[in-house]
A and B are shown apart, each in its own frame.
Chain A
Amino acid sequence: MSYEAVIGLEVHAQLLTRSKMFCGCGTEFGLPPNTQVCPVCLGMPGSLPVVNKQAVEMAIRAGLALNCSIRPTNRFARKNYFYPDLPKGYQISQYEAPICEYGWIDLAVNGRSMRVRIRRAHLEEDAGKNIHASEAPGSLVDFNRAGTPLLEIVTEPEMGSAEEVVTYLKSLRDLLVYLDVCDGNMEEGSFRCEPNLSLRPVGATTLGTKVELKNINSFKFVKEALEYEIGRQTKVLLEGKTVHQETRLWDIERAQTVVMRSKEEAHDYRYFPDPDLVPLSISEEWIAELRETLQELPQARLQRFVTEYSLSEYDAGVLTSSRALADYFERCVKLFNQPKTISNFVMGELLRELNQTGSDVESSPVSPERLVELLGLVDNGSISLKMARELFPEVYASGKSPEQLVEEKGLRQVSDEGELGKIIVSVIQSNPTQVVQYREGKETVLGFLMGQVMKASGGKAHPQKVMELLKKALAG
């Protein structure tokens, strides 16, 4: 029998608010432990939560972008469990009434389009962080992160492969980054994913036993963990055994999943509406206002790039993969109306340099103005496209203006007819055999003669000009 995987995803996206979900503390990452705390996020007796409006707005904007309906009245609920990093003994989350419901995201996987449905997206607060320092007796807790707003986005279980999952995750992350509601940083934990998967015989309609996966902090691990787990469960089933309902951790060292807790150890979270917070009302007007603020979404921008700039789907896809890159491209086009040339150069040269130095386009040392300046030099014949490509790493590394670099290095192409004429005359004189062959009709020799001229000019001769003058000279 063969089996198919059914995969659903929970993503926790940390919202880019200035302050925490229920208090005024800041949300900056990496500060000294317990310096970003107050009575509220420390769960001091008597302290009370107040909902962060900015977090609600970000959730609504993300929900709208994910084609969700926004609930006009939603409630916060308490999820009760004991853990040292959970200051109040409960997490404020949303249970019965999430802020966003019933959305979807459209994807292209291997040229095939598919739709992943979003079941819900709800607001909640993050916990602190336990630190097990070897030198300290016992463990320590850092509450800086406690109370940071999260949007938990839950799909229907309907993806079938690790590839689909990764495509979904990338697309979701791009969207959230695009909307400026999440920085999408998986390593720092601001975009966390927890897949759940079950296997069933191909064609079956009921779902098999579900296993949840945790501790996955890169797309690479998502793929590896899912593929490992699909393999493991397939093997279990083929051996006639049963899969246990449990939560498993991805063990990076051993590249396998290991049991974290079984169904029997699962918590009864005793959810109930948080009496400290009144139901949150979201008016039609508020939603309409936020809809106005939504930037053009990646999919729409991609289509526009195809039609407006005559780019291929692929190129447009790369350029709209982040808003910063798409903005960069459009800024260049505005300064220099050759979209195709810019697209090639950005995708080839700029992205390569950015990748190699591990930077992103926001901090690119080459501004759109500089990049366009370089392409302008090609356009007016000062340098060849090949030279521009060769020069780019230096422009990138030095931060110097392309004009200045071309001058400094004496790279400006020679198009002066007098100067080129002298070189051509000398080349013709020193290669009489080839000249005869050409005149007898062997046109391929032209390439050889052309190369000789270029060589003699130190590579600086303007190729088209050389061709034109060379032909004229040979004809004469």
Chain B
Amino acid sequence: MSLVKLTLKELQDQFTRAEVRASEIVRAYYLRVSMVEPKVKAYITLNDKETVLAEAHALDQELKQWRKTMPLMAMPLAIKDNICTHDLPTTCGSRILGQFRPPYDASVVATMRPHRFLLLGKSNLDEFAMGSSTEHSAFGPSRNPWKLNHVPGGSSGGSAAAVAADECVAALGSDTGGSIRQPAACCGVVGLKPTYGRVSRYGLVAFASSLDQIGPITKDVMDAAVLLNVLAGHDPLDSTSAEVPVPDFTRAFKKRDLKKLKIGVPTEYFTEGLDPEVEVAVREAIEELGRLGGEIKEVSLPHTGVAVATYYIIATAEASSNLARYDGVRYGLRSKQSKDLLEMFCMTRQEGLGYEVKRRIMLGTYVLSSGYYDAYYGKAQAVRTLIQRDFEEAFQDVDLLVSPVMPTPPFQLGEKIDDPLQMYLSDIYTISASLAGLPAISIPCGFSRQGLPIGLQIVGRPFEEETILRAARAYELATEWRKKRPAIR
């Protein structure tokens, strides 16, 4: 079996047992990238092969001296290009950052550095993570490895496509309203959005601070647990990161069945707008969870219908403020057209920001304006609390909630680009968990007739990622979906 087909855990085991050398891993992956990247376009910046190879040689030399390796050692990873890395540019898929090279690593990257992982490159995304298809990247869209004229989802589409196309063994993504889960579903891989506060946001370029969360995109559920083990934990640099104990998430897999787990199916998620193919796949997956011992129950999340509206007020409000710093004064693009200060601000932002980002900045500016604040932002905050209560009540009765990730299979490139409302509805099933700050995973649960992946979402209580991982892993092992691989043509 080719090296690039292995999961992170499998590759790690081989490396630790000295069955494969880091330099072989690097060569295999760069060969794979050279073959498929022109078609998939998962990366914005690819790391220099010789640099990565030099690090791999060093690792191979040093390996003999070590008694113990670390879980990510020599693992070739992709990092979404809105997570700061001091050694590669961080563009956020935007012209406004130019070739911005942060003078620091995001806390998650800093935590991973001692593992001596191999950074293959920075993966593509919708500009500032605003979008569901990567079509809003200033550097062009990534493609869905299963069908190249379809979108890989977004905003972490580059990360999901890179994992699905074996262009990296695993990747980091970020999720604000579904940006890890939705592309993972589109590309037939696993995407985990941890509980808000579980993983440090320091160095994740902010889109909507009260929602953003970094998480892994991987080939299977085991790998998601391995990565989360490294990513999770309190960070003094992020006031919103939680001071809660971090378990060894792989221990969640000791139980192979779902006995004594109550699994809720929200009625409101299976109504109008849900594609029949998706519904069939998800219903079958739910039956499988039942066969594995889970007790399936219908539950209600009454405020589901207003979640998308609520999200687009809160997220855009925060974004309008978060993106104000791109003014051309200190870094990134500065318009050469301007004659005075106001023009410098305006022209820089006009030239540097894309259409969707501008739309959201305008929406967010509007909802925070004096006279409108109470009607929009204030109201949205109140509704957000109601949505959180919906979940709290549901979790009185059940341990997990299951649903589709996305209402349809992945759509075609260009299909929704001119219809923002349709595009926003791609996240209808993922947004609620984001507003409630809950952990949620997306795992493959079938394919459409066209051969495009369909995802299953499992949502858990705050900081109960273990329960999610346990159910997801049991389902993954009971089914064969993870063994299917895209042909890329």
Contacts and interface: CB of A to CB of B under 8 A. Distances in A.
Interface of A: 39, 42-51, 78, 80, 82, 84, 87-90, 141, 268, 270-272, 275-278
Contacts of B84: 45-46
Q: Which of B82, B104, B326 has the most CB of A within 10 A?
A: B104
A46 B106 contact: yes
Contacts of B324: 80, 82, 88-90
Interface string B239-272: 1100000000000000000000000000000000
Contact of A50 (B103, B236, B330, B365): B236
Contacts of A80: 320-321, 324, 368
Contacts of A268: 369-370
22 contacts: A39-B102, A45-B90, A45-B92, A45-B102, A45-B206, A46-B206, A47-B202, A48-B237, A48-B239, A48-B240, A50-B238, A51-B239, A82-B324, A82-B345, A88-B324, A89-B321, A89-B325, A89-B327, A141-B329, A271-B368, A275-B240, A278-B239
Contacts of B103: 39, 44
A112 to B, nearest CB: 41
Contact of A45 (B97, B238, B377): B97
Nearest to B371: A268
Contact of A275 (B90, B204, B210, B345): B210
Majority-rule SS of A interface residues: loop
Nearest to B92: A45
B369 to A, nearest CB: 6
Question: Which among A45, A88, A268, A272 has the highest number of chain B CB atoms within 10 Å?
Answer: A45
B341 A84 contact: yes
B44 to A, nearest CB: 15
Given A48-B238, A272-B317, A82 B327 contact: yes
A275 B206 CA distance: 11
B373 interface: yes
A50 B237 contact: yes
B122 to A, nearest CB: 13
B321 A48 contact: no
Interface in B203-224: 203-206, 208-210
B330 A276 contact: no
Given A270-B365, A270-B370, A275-B210, A48 B201 contact: yes
Q: Decide if the interface of chain B is mainly helix, strand, loop or mixed.
A: loop
B236 to A, nearest CB: 7
B210 A49 contact: no
B325 A276 contact: no
Contacts of B82: 46
Nearest to A277: B239
B205 A42 contact: no
Top 3 nearest A-B pairs (CB, nearest first) are A89-B324, A275-B210, A270-B368
Contacts of A84: 327, 329, 341
Interface string B315-337: 00110110111110111000000
Nearest to A49: B239
Contacts of A89: 321, 323-327
B100 interface: yes
B203 A270 contact: no
Interface in B92-113: 92, 97, 100, 102-104, 106
Contacts of A90: 321, 324
A88 B325 contact: yes
B381 to A, nearest CB: 9
Contact of B240 (A46, A47, A271, A278): A278
Given A270-B369, A272-B317, A43 B330 contact: yes
A232 to B, nearest CB: 30
Contacts of A276: 206, 209, 239-240
Nearest to A84: B329
A152 B227 CA distance: 45
Contacts of A271: 368
A178 to B, nearest CB: 32
A275 B209 contact: yes
A88 B326 CA distance: 8
Interface in B359-397: 365, 368-370, 373, 377
Contact of B368 (A44, A46, A272): A272
Query: Which of A48, A51, A84, A276 has most B Cβ within 10 Å?
Result: A48
Nearest to A141: B329
Contacts of B208: 275
A78 to B, nearest CB: 5
With a 10 A CB-CB cut-off, give which of A44, A49, A277 has the most chain B CB atoms.
A44
A139 B188 CA distance: 52
B391 to A, nearest CB: 19
Contacts of B202: 46-48
Contacts of B321: 78, 80, 89-90, 270, 272
Contact of A46 (B205, B326, B329): B205
B314 to A, nearest CB: 9
A51 B240 CA distance: 12
Contacts of A50: 236-239
A49 B97 CA distance: 21
A47 B203 contact: yes
Contacts of B331: 44
A277 B237 CA distance: 11
Contacts of A43: 325, 330
Contacts of B326: 89
Contacts of B97: 45
A335 to B, nearest CB: 48
B214 to A, nearest CB: 11
Nearest to B100: A45
Given A43-B330, A275-B240, 17 more contacts: A43-B325, A44-B103, A44-B104, A44-B331, A45-B97, A46-B84, A46-B202, A46-B203, A46-B204, A47-B202, A50-B236, A141-B329, A141-B330, A270-B320, A271-B368, A275-B318, A278-B239
A118 B325 CA distance: 34
Interface in B302-359: 317-318, 320-321, 323-327, 329-331, 341, 345
A276 to B, nearest CB: 5
A276 B83 CA distance: 17
A44 B83 CA distance: 12
A45 B104 CA distance: 10
A132 to B, nearest CB: 11
Contacts of B341: 84
A141 B323 CA distance: 20
A306 B326 CA distance: 60
A326 to B, nearest CB: 40
Nearest to A139: B341
Contacts of B90: 45-46
Nearest to A76: B239
Best-buried of A42, A275, A278 by chain B (most CB within 10 Å): A275
Nearest to B314: A275
A78 B323 CA distance: 13
Interface in B66-90: 82-84, 90
Nearest to B331: A44
A50 B330 CA distance: 22
A52 to B, nearest CB: 12
A90 to B, nearest CB: 5
B429 to A, nearest CB: 23
A45 B239 contact: no
Contact of B102 (A46, A48, A82, A270): A46
A51 B419 CA distance: 42
Contacts of B102: 39, 44-46
Of the candidates B92, B203, B369, the one having the most CB atoms from chain A within 10 angstroms of its own CB is B203
Contacts of B206: 45-46, 276
Nearest to B324: A89
A78 B206 CA distance: 15
A87 B331 CA distance: 11
Contacts of B237: 48, 50
A45 B322 CA distance: 9
Given A87-B325, A272-B377, A39 B104 contact: yes
